[in-house]
Chains A and B, each alone.
Chain A
Amino acid sequence: MTVIFLNAALTFFGSIGRVLIAAFSAIGRVSIFAWTTVSRAVRPPYYPARFFEQLLQIGWFSLPVVGMTAIFSGAALAQQIYTAGSRFNATSTVPAVVVLGMVRELGPVLVGLMVAGRVSSAMAAELGTMRVTEQLDALTTLRTDPYRYLIAPRLFASLVAMPLLVLIANAIGIFGGYFVAVYKLHFNPTGYLATTRLYLDATDLQMALVKSCFFGFFIALMGCYHGFRTQGGAAGVGRATTDAVVSAFIMILLSNMIITLMAFG
């Protein structure tokens, strides 16, 4: 009996241990990857043209999808707050909740998720294809460092683009809420804007910017890391793309929670 029990316990703790070891080694590999990129990027050669190319890809071409996400969410948020607030005579909180909810939480998170869906997947697929067609090896043999040439421009462009996208999304989201509040729920336009301005604090914007920098970093890091380690042909590229998007989503939601809890801790 004791032997069977011990064996069962060993299998149980063993499987937990294996998962933990896998998780920690993955964290270690990602950290080494990020560190390698940053430490090589500070030394020449630099690739400003590649950086601006990526800035255009990540920032400019994400604008339509980010704008739509923000306006729809802001509008829906205003309606929800109004309906919920009317149960205890608190409909006047609509502008305050819309601005705070949008700037602190929904703006950064939704933009982060949308951009991750667009950008992490594209990076993983592109770098993964370059890996399986030996283009990454070719770069190295042509004396060009893939970390400097491919990874660093993506990482830094994403880091710069995300805060800008989030600021724009916040403005559009607030406008979406304003639109519904004024034209559907008959708020006073001047009053609504005044309340919005009253509740919007510099610290809220700071929080949005801090979050968006983290998200931008994770979006590019996950896309590049998974793309770079791709193995096994077309199926491997598919796996890398999925892993990139899923891990970017998790990192965004996890870091968002940690930042929010720490900020109000």
Chain B
Amino acid sequence: MANDYKIILEDVAKSFGGNKVLDGVNLEIERGESMAIIGQSGSGKSVTLKCILGLIRPDRGAIRVDGENITDLSTRDFERVRAKFGMLFQGSALFDSLPIWRNVTFSLTQGRNQDAARMRKIAEENLERVGLDAKVLNLRPSELSGGMQKRVALARAIAPRPEIIFFDEPTTGLDPIRADVINDLIVELVEDLGVTALTITHDMASARKIAHRVAMLYQGKIIWRGPRDRLYDSGNPYVDQFVQGRAEGPIR
């Protein structure tokens, strides 16, 4: 059965100093599935993502991508795995010293100035996918609004046609309408490109729209997982309190 899973987390743990952030996370994500991890700020969502991306090395446990344990790969071997990944950062994390088209094609050139004409073309195609036209090609990231920056970041993440895309709080900092536009785009891209998606968010509307399945992270462990339709009748008091945004409850 393991073959059906794109990503498997087995007992992943990570501490910073004496602070246990992840305390044995277990999670399986199927090929082509869109999974959302919800949880409070500081519950370890970002750390989970960074462990999979290889930005942080977990203290314990295994992370399997296509069956391969990536936790003990060398820097050079990890490069090969990273080619499967695309990532949308919370603050977009566009390179403000480069024009938009260089940003979008960055993973293809790895930052070198080559094939300008072909790269502009590729940038244009990818920007079109996220609903931006060629007018922005030569602008700098700081000249765009937050929502447009998010789209450019999305175009940058999909440009190398990754097999897995990670979304870190994709709607944070956007107004509800722009947030929904981004949600729609993510749903569309995940379907069209046939990728596996993992989103971390505390925006319930976004989680319900983007994800097929939702998992909740609390105190470094996955305490609940289920299809998105069960999110509001999970029968789990922690999930109930979180999705309804109540101050009273088991979480304090």
Contacts and interface: CB of A to CB of B under 8 A. Distances in A.
Interface of A: 45, 47, 49-50, 133-135, 137-144, 149
Interface in B52-88: 53-55, 79, 82-83, 85-87
B95 A45 contact: no
13 contacts: A45-B110, A134-B93, A135-B93, A135-B94, A138-B94, A139-B95, A140-B55, A141-B55, A141-B82, A142-B156, A143-B79, A143-B107, A143-B110
Interface in B20-62: 50, 53-55
B219 interface: no
Given A141-B82, A142-B106, A49 B93 contact: no
B163 to A, nearest CB: 14
A255 B50 CA distance: 39
B112 A141 contact: no
B65 to A, nearest CB: 14
Contacts of B96: 135
Interface string B86-105: 11011101111000000000
Nearest to A134: B93
B115 to A, nearest CB: 14
Given A138-B95, A141-B87, A149-B111, 7 more contacts: A50-B111, A134-B93, A137-B50, A140-B53, A141-B55, A142-B156, A144-B106
A112 B54 CA distance: 38
Contact of B91 (A50, A134, A141, A144): A134
The bracket for how many chain B residues form the interface is: 20 to 34
Contacts of A140: 53-55, 82
B93 A144 contact: no
A137 B93 contact: yes
A144 B108 CA distance: 10
A144 B55 contact: no
Given A140-B55, A142-B106, A45 B89 contact: no
A141 B111 contact: no
B91 A142 contact: no
B107 A142 contact: yes
A134 B87 CA distance: 11
Nearest to B107: A142
B113 interface: yes
Nearest to B79: A143
Contacts of B91: 133-134
A251 to B, nearest CB: 27
Contacts of B112: 45, 47, 49
A39 to B, nearest CB: 11
B74 to A, nearest CB: 13
B83 A143 contact: yes
Contacts of A45: 110, 112
Contacts of A47: 111-112
Interface of B: 50, 53-55, 79, 82-83, 85-87, 89-91, 93-96, 106-107, 110-113, 156
B198 to A, nearest CB: 13
B174 to A, nearest CB: 17
Contacts of B89: 134, 137-138
A134 B53 CA distance: 13
Contact of A141 (B53, B90, B94, B113): B53
A40 B111 CA distance: 16
Contacts of A135: 93-96
Contacts of B90: 134
B82 A143 contact: yes
A50 B110 CA distance: 12
A143 B53 CA distance: 11
B54 to A, nearest CB: 8
A134 B153 CA distance: 12
Contacts of B50: 137
A99 B209 CA distance: 74
A58 B53 CA distance: 34
A110 to B, nearest CB: 30
Contacts of B83: 143
A77 B87 CA distance: 58
Contacts of B93: 133-135, 137-138
A140 B50 CA distance: 11
A49 B114 CA distance: 11
A144 B90 CA distance: 19
Contacts of B106: 142, 144
B117 to A, nearest CB: 17
A141 B168 CA distance: 13
